[in-house]
Amino acid sequence: MTNPTSGEENIETNFQKKMTYGEYLNLDTILSSQNRLSGHHDEMLFIIIHQVSELWMKLILHELHAAKHAIETGDLSVSFKKLARVSEIQNQIIQAWDVLSTLTPAEYLEFREALGSSSGFQSYQYRLIEFALGYKTDFILKIYEKDPELLKQLEAGYYSGSIYDASIHALSRAGFHISEEVLNRDVTRAYEFDKTVEGAWIEVYQNSNEYWDLYELGEKLVDIEDCFQQWRFRHMKTVERVIGFKSGTGGSSGVGYLQKVLEQQFFPELWNLRTKL
């Protein structure tokens, strides 16, 4: 049998005083964090899917914050790479539902009680992503009153303008008329449709060669909302497949709640203009 390392004499093998791959990634911590409360075989799948999704969400937030800063400072082209990366990350999270869908209702019932009142409904990173995209609700703040550090993070996101607010200000800086009510709006409220914003985006799309950066920004935002809605839909169908129309472990109506959130929009004008053009 051929030795696959033959001719690779420079490969490092002595790590007595050097950092290993596992140490760099803190794998001992990450790989020891799957604690099955029921001991059931399939609880491992359930835990890992959600942990991996939370890691991807952490990266989404990292990229969204950087993209927002780039938009605010006028570096739209810099934001495009980061927003494109967000969409690719979203595709990874969407596909994760296919893996979780291999869990059958009978298998889930074997360990569901071990979850207690914990639920993905309480994911603070998911809410931070919603905040970053412009959908604000304060109920999640109440959930984390028990954890001052997490509450501080959530409040920072809640009281900050969204990436769409930054984009609307970019339209204004480019000379488009945007109503003062929108430019000075209360950013703790969920964003609502505005005709002046729609008019600005329509002009951008009708004159894409002249406003190419803004046009590209609009499309990158649409990509993100499109993927977000696909994620929500796959979430809803996976929950329906596994528990039907039972209530969620956190007290939500389960599928009923997930169906309602499909109606939420982050960037309404960017969707409406497709009918208007």
Confidence of residue 5 (pLDDT cuts 50, 70, 90): low
78 compared with 17, residue with greater pLDDT: 78
Of 268, 277, 270, residue with least CA distance to 216: 270
Of 79, 89, 124, 107, residue with least CA distance to 228: 89
Tell me phi and psi for residue 123, to 5 degrees: -60, 110
Any idea of the CA torsion for 184, 260, 93, 245, to the nearest 10 degrees? 160
pLDDT at 261 over 90: no
Give dist(CA 205, CA 218) in Å, integer: 9
Give dist(CA 118, CA 257) in Å, integer: 16
Task: Specify the residue for token string 């204004």.
Answer: 172
List binding-site positions for heme: 235
Confidence of residue 227 (pLDDT cuts 50, 70, 90): very high
The neighbour count for residue 160, using CB atoms within 10 Å, is: 16
The answer to whether 36 and 48 are in contact (CB under 8 A) is no
What structural domains and CATH numbers belong to the chain? 39-274 (1.20.58.480)
pLDDT, tens only, 135-172: 998 888 988 898 999 999 999 999 999 999 999 999 99
Q: How confident is the model over 55-70, as a mean pLDDT?
A: 98
Q: How far is CA 165 from the centre of its chain?
A: 17
Confidence of residue 43 (pLDDT cuts 50, 70, 90): very high
The neighbour count for residue 18, using CB atoms within 10 Å, is: 8
pLDDT at 1 over 90: no
The answer to whether 93 and 56 are in contact (CB under 8 A) is yes
pLDDT at 60: 98
pLDDT at 219 over 80: yes
Mean pLDDT lowest among 52-61, 163-172, 236-245: 236-245
The answer to whether 255 and 115 are in contact (CB under 8 A) is no
List binding-site positions for substrate: 46-50, 108, 112, 249
The answer to whether 25 and 91 are in contact (CB under 8 A) is no
pLDDT at 257: 79
- Residue 59 structure tokens: 């990266």
pLDDT at 116: 86
- Residue 182 structure tokens: 């929108």
Q: How confident is the model over 83-98, as a mean pLDDT?
A: 97
List binding-site positions: 46-50, 108, 112, 235, 249
pLDDT at 185: 97
Q: How many CA atoms lie within 13 A of 115 on its CB side?
A: 20
264 compared with 29, residue with greater pLDDT: 29
- Residue 211 structure tokens: 């406003």
pLDDT at 179: 98
pLDDT, tens only, 108-137: 999 999 988 888 778 999 999 999 999 998
- Residue 5 structure tokens: 């390392």
